[in-house]
Structure 1
Amino acid sequence: MNKQRKAVALISGGLDSMLAAKTVMAQGIHVEGINFFYRFLRRRPYSCDSSQRPS
């Protein structure tokens, strides 16, 4: 019984992580991509007030 190999790729949004995942996929390995969105890394806080939105 041959199980397909699997991998997890952390996708940063840059070209290097996507290329690494594609290289692994070319070897016949199933790749699941994960991307994290960190809302707290914004420089300005979210606001409903349109006067505070960046222009």
Structure 2
Amino acid sequence: TRNSVVEDSQKAYQEAFDIAKAKMQPTHPIRLGLALNFSVFYYEIINSPARACHLAKQ
């Protein structure tokens, strides 16, 4: 179902983002791309602009 796909996607994004924060500089292109994609996920899929903005600022 849609909810399970959204939950699985959110988990995968969060795991990747945690790894990127631990192992990459804030200006690393892959980390920046991941942050952008994760924030778009929150904005468009979760419908949470506030969370998307918070994530983008990290």
Q: Which has the higher contact order (CA 8 A, sep 6+)?
A: 1
* TM-score normalised over the length of structure 2: 0.34
* TM-score normalised over the length of structure 1: 0.35
Structure possessing the higher radius of gyration over alpha carbons: 1
Question: Which is helix-richer, 1 or 2?
Answer: 2
Question: Which is strand-richer, 1 or 2?
Answer: 1
